[in-house]
């Protein structure tokens, strides 16, 4: 196999511009070698074919980059699954991954429970209804911060050795798989169903969870085969120790796969968590990778390497690995979009890290991206114990994970930031997936502690490609990059980005710039704007870009190109090119040549973060709004936090005036580029009556019901302390570990139509608490203890409505 070439970089200081830096990258390197040897793939009844080579996945021979979101159905109320699936899809995700936790479904031996919130089959039917695919993670070991990592308590008392080829253990696994197979029957890809993948086991011979049956003060006993105990670690990490039983581990994975297939699980994709020397099924599974920037299982905060570009196809994260990396595509399946808290450690996941991490992974050659978690939830209580990983000190109920979609379905900053990249890979994955990674010479020498050097990479095929830049690093602040230019050498030409000026890259931001890109027959030399979406199937195709924060966008076309200004731009021609400069928050222009025309819309990043993709009468459109926009059968559902009045803008413009199910809709006439409307819903005043019972205990009266135009009511609890718990009818229903972030609780699941009281109990923060190290970057979150050893302050309860209506076109 040919070696990949890491090319030289030179930083050229211009004599004509003060401190201007030109970063040079030569992309004349061999293309990645692609071969087909993996025993994966499948066909559905429509004769659509999924296939996988050593570099990317294809659907009907078209390269794709799947976007996978982890959402645990059993941690969320069944009656809201449909809404959550639609939220996930609105975020630009096309695959949902979900665990099947053995101990939730067989808490008592021989009694399987698939009813209510455990109804796996119904959940997958909703995935099919919403046209989103699924990967089912069947265990038997899952982890997922569930008690025993998903293994039932009673398994410890059986005469067998877990996670091994012990025949008695394998009999129990076979029975579990057969039960799961019954739930999945008829829902596989081959049947026209959503299930395209099965994950076998989890972090096998790498990591384990502690048994929940533990005595206080006792060292944790891990849920691993006894032979693997010495090489088993807590959490995800690098594993340099060679396991003398690695071949037995691979054999075990093969047996598990054969058992799953015997249970009917016949799918195009089988995956295995392959990081840190974990076992896989060689040539028959995709070894997926992980990256957690804010782990709770490490003793302190530290800088992660996951914001530095590398060649992930050759050097996966958490290497060494047990397989030859170049034989498999680089699929990142557990990218830490958030993190859990444990009692002793409470890392705060910065949402700017989410898209920075994806930028870095895509720029490093990843051809699949997946999140753990994308949607939080609440761990259900078992019949005889809490089912959360209590031995590790997790909350007993909350599994919020600081995720893009929260424990109660809250849409957060990370959801919007990630959406920009998801739309990009959905529309341009066919171009990006076959592209080779090219790195500057100093890439391998950069350290996370280096906050001043420019971090960048190129994905290229032939003479075209994308430049990736990232200026984010966890647990520190990067230096803003000022007055920089890029010099990209291709086999065809040398491109200066930008041609004459320079640009700045703000601290904490990341960008992707195209060069030598074909836009429906038009040559785009480069753009200092980021591609977002397109519709190139129209007579007059259009392309949507956004201007990154702090960057004035410009486009370079060949000099013979004609530009028609529709809004916001200026043009400048020279002998080599036509330069289009974008001057406003919304810019639109047409590009014309040889009787052809395309339209380009360039919006601010602020506006781009409000984008949603919809269909109106079968045609693609985009809605921009502060409200969350969800497709709901043939209608569009809108969710607006706090505001009962809000606007929507539709692109391209439509002559159809929608109707709203509640309130009123008014057409706004001032818009030139969009069809714009103001929606006004009835305002509701939700109040909360609180009563202090003692220094640590409060009682609140909840609303009896919510109006039809209110989707949920979010209770915000502001306090400074250690932990907080919420009870209804004496039962613990919600809890939280203090992190300096207001605690938000969705109330709709607790509203019954009758008067209900929720009782809160708060514990004071201790002056010597170990988790204060995680709050140090946020000094306002740490109280002034003065001469006291503990501190508790409950600062109030507020409640806000989430308004909703459906639009019909």
Whether 602 is in a domain gets the answer no
Cα–Cα–Cα angle for 225, 230, 236, rounded to 5 degrees: 85
Please provide the distance, in angstroms rounded to a whole number, between the alpha carbons at the two ends of the chain.
56
Residue owning tokens 């078209």: 62
- 637 and 727 part of one domain: no
Query: How do residues 494-508 score in pLDDT, each as one tens digit?
Result: 999 999 999 999 999
Report the distance separating Cα 106 and Cα 77, nearest Å: 19
Q: Where are the alpha helices (DSSP H) in 547-620?
A: 605-608
Cβ–Cβ under 8 Å, residues 132 and 94: yes
Indicate the DSSP class of residue 703: P
Give the CATH number, domain containing residue 165: 3.20.20.80
pTM reported for the whole predicted model: 0.96
- 105 and 132 part of one domain: yes
- 340 and 234 part of one domain: yes
pLDDT in the model for residue 762? 98
Report the distance separating Cα 261 and Cα 302, nearest Å: 42
Whether 228 is in a domain gets the answer yes
Cβ–Cβ under 8 Å, residues 564 and 592: yes
Give the CATH number, domain containing residue 700: 2.60.120
- Greatest distance between any 2 Cα atoms in the chain: 82
- 199 and 278 part of one domain: yes
Which of the listed residues 411, 430, 449 is the one where a domain comes to its end? 430
- 802 and 724 part of one domain: yes
Report the distance separating Cα 640 and Cα 637, nearest Å: 10
pLDDT in the model for residue 648? 97
Mark the ranges of the chain whose per-residue pLDDT is less than 50. 1-17
Give the pair of three-digit tokens for residue 692. Answer: 């202090």
| Cis-peptide into 321, omega within 30 deg | no
Whether 234 is in a domain gets the answer yes
Q: 3-class secondary structure for 418-446?
A: HHHHHHHHHHHHHHHCCCEEECCHHHHHC
Whether 606 is in a domain gets the answer no
Return the C-alpha torsion angle 224, 226, 228, 232, nearest 10: 50
136: Cβ–Cβ under 8 A, 6 or more apart, which residues?
97, 98, 100, 120, 124, 180, 184, 195, 197, 198, 199
- What is the total count of domains within the chain? 3
Q: Output the DSSP codes for 108-155.
A: BTTB---SGGG-HHHHHHHHHHTT-EEEEE--S---TTBGGGG--GGG
Whether 656 is in a domain gets the answer yes
What are residue 575's phi and psi, to 5 degrees? -65, -20
Which of the listed residues 430, 451, 480 is the one where a domain comes to its end? 430
Domain residue limits at 794: 690-808
Estimate the crossing angle of helix 120-129 against helix 167-184, to 10 degrees. 40
336: Cβ–Cβ under 8 A, 6 or more apart, which residues?
290, 291, 292, 293, 294, 295, 349, 357, 372
Cα–Cα–Cα angle for 460, 463, 469, rounded to 5 degrees: 40
Whether 537 is in a domain gets the answer no
Cβ–Cβ under 8 Å, residues 761 and 724: yes
What are residue 362's phi and psi, to 5 degrees? -65, -45
- 764 and 645 part of one domain: no
Query: How do residues 127-181 score in pLDDT, each as one tens digit?
Result: 999 999 999 999 999 999 999 999 999 999 999 999 999 999 999 999 999 999 9
What are residue 486's phi and psi, to 5 degrees? -120, 140
Give the pair of three-digit tokens for residue 77. Answer: 């109320």
| Nearest in space to 525 (alpha carbons), one of 551, 486, 552, 564 | 486
Give the pair of three-digit tokens for residue 79. Answer: 């009656």
- 671 and 694 part of one domain: no
- 658 and 746 part of one domain: no
Residue owning tokens 């030139």: 672
- Burial call 551-570: b when 16+ CB within 10 Å, e when fewer: bebbbbbeeebebeebebbe
pLDDT in the model for residue 353? 98
Cβ–Cβ under 8 Å, residues 580 and 541: no
134: Cβ–Cβ under 8 A, 6 or more apart, which residues?
95, 96, 97, 98, 124, 127, 194, 195, 196, 197
Q: Where are the alpha helices (DSSP H) in 652-799?
A: 772-775
Report the distance separating Cα 231 and Cα 689, nearest Å: 54
Query: How do residues 8-66 score in pLDDT, each as one tens digit?
Result: 444 444 444 458 999 999 999 999 999 999 999 999 999 999 999 999 999 999 999 99
- 65 and 150 part of one domain: yes
pLDDT in the model for residue 9? 43
455-461 β-sheet, strand order: 436-438, 455-461, 464-470, 510-519, 522-527, 554-558, 577-582, 569-573
pLDDT in the model for residue 173? 98
Please count the CA atoms within 13 angstroms of the CA of 735 that sit on its side-chain side: 24
Whether 463 is in a domain gets the answer no
Cβ–Cβ under 8 Å, residues 499 and 485: no
- 131 and 207 part of one domain: yes
| Nearest in space to 521 (alpha carbons), one of 609, 615, 584, 594 | 594
- 773 and 713 part of one domain: yes
- 185 and 299 part of one domain: yes
How far apart, in Å, are the Cα atoms of 441 and each of 5, 309, 456, 487, 495? Answer: 9, 11, 11, 14, 19
Whether 204 is in a domain gets the answer yes
Indicate the DSSP class of residue 83: H
Which of the listed residues 641, 656, 680 is the one where a domain comes to its end? 680
């Amino acid at each position: 196999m040919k070696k990949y070439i890491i090319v030289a970089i030179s930083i050229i200081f211009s004599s004509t511009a003060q401190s201007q830096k030109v970063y040079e990258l030569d992309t004349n390197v061999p293309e990645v070698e692609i071969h087909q040897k993996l025993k994966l793939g499948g066909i559905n009844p429509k004769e659509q074919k999924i296939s996988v080579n050593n570099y990317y996945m294809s659907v009907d021979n078209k390269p794709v980059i799947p976007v996978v979101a982890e959402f645990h159905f059993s941690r969320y109320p069944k009656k809201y699954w449909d809404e959550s699936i639609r939220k996930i899809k609105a975020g630009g995700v096309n695959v949902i991954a979900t665990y099947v936790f053995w101990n939730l479904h067989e808490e008592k031996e021989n009694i399987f429970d698939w009813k209510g919130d455990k109804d796996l089959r119904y959940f997958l039917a909703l995935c099919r209804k919403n046209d989103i695919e699924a990967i089912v993670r069947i265990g038997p070991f899952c982890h997922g911060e569930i008690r025993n990592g998903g293994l039932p308590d009673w398994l410890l008392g059986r005469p067998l050795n877990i996670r091994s080829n012990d025949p008695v253990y394998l009999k129990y696994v076979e029975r579990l798989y057969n039960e799961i197979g019954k739930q999945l029957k008829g829902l596989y890809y081959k049947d026209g169903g959503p299930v395209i993948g099965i994950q076998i086991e989890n972090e096998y011979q790498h990591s384990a969870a502690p048994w929940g049956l533990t005595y206080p003060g006792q060292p944790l006993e891990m849920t691993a085969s006894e032979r693997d105990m010495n090489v088993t670690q807590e959490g995800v990490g690098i594993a340099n120790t060679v396991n003398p039983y690695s071949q037995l581990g691979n054999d075990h994975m093969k047996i598990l796969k054969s058992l799953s297939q015997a249970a009917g699980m016949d799918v195009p994709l089988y995956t295995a968590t392959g990081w840190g020397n974990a076992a896989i099924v060689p040539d028959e599974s995709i070894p997926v990778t992980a990256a957690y920037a804010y782990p709770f299982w490490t003793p302190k905060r530290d800088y992660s390497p996951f914001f530095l570009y590398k060649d992930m196809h050759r050097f996966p994260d958490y290497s060494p690995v047990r397989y030859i990396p170049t034989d498999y595509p680089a699929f990142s399946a557990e990218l830490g979009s958030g993190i859990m808290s444990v009692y002793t450690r409470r890392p705060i996941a910065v949402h700017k890290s989410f898209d920075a991490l994806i930028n870095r992974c895509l720029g490093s050659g990843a051809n699949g991206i997946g999140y753990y978690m994308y949607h939080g939830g609440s761990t259900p209580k078992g019949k005889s114990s809490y089912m959360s990983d209590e031995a590790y000190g997790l909350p007993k109920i909350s599994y919020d994970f600081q995720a893009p979609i929260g424990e109660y379905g809250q849409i957060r900053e990370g959801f919007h930031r990630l959406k920009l990249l998801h739309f990009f890979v959905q529309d341009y994955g066919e171009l990006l997936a076959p592209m080779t990674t090219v790195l500057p010479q100093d890439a391998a020498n950069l350290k996370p502690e280096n906050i001043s050097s420019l971090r960048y990479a190129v994905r290229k095929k032939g003479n075209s490609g994308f430049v990736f830049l990232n200026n984010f690093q966890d647990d520190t602040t990067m230096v803003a990059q000022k007055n920089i230019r890029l010099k990209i050498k291709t086999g065809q030409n040398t491109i200066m980005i930008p041609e004459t000026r320079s640009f700045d890259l703000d601290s904490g931001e990341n960008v992707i710039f195209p060069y030598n890109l074909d836009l429906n027959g038009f040559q785009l030399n480069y753009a200092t704007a980021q591609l977002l979406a397109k519709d190139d199937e129209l007579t007059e195709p259009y392309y949507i870009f956004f201007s990154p924060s702090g960057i004035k966008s410009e486009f370079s076309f060949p000099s013979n190109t004609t530009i028609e200004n529709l809004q916001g731009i200026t043009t400048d021609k020279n002998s080599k090119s036509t330069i289009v400069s974008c001057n406003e928050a919304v810019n639109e222009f047409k590009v014309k040549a040889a009787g052809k025309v395309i339209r380009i819309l360039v919006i601010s990043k602020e506006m781009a973060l409000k984008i949603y993709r919809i269909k109106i009468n079968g045609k693609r459109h985009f809605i921009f709004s502060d409200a969350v926009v969800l497709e709901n059968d043939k209608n569009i559902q809108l969710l607006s936090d706090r505001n009962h009045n809000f606007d929507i803008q539709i692109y391209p413009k439509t002559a159809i005036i929608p109707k709203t199910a509640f309130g009123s809709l008014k057409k706004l006439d001032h818009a030139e580029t969009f069809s714009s409307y103001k929606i006004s819903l009835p305002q509701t005043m939700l109040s909360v009556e609180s009563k202090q019972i003692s220094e640590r205990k409060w009682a609140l009266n909840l609303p009896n019901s919510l109006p039809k135009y209110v989707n949920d009511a979010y209770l915000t609890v502001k306090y400074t302390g250690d932990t907080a718990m919420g009870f209804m009818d004496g039962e613990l229903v919600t809890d939280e570990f203090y992190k300096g972030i207001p605690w938000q609780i969705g109330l709709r699941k607790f509203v019954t139509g009758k008067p209900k009281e929720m009782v809160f109990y708060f514990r004071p923060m201790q002056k010597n608490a170990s988790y204060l190290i995680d709050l140090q970057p946020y000094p306002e979150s740490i109280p002034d203890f003065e001469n006291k050893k503990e501190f508790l302050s409950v600062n109030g309860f507020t409640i806000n409505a989430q308004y909703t209506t459906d639009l019909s076109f």
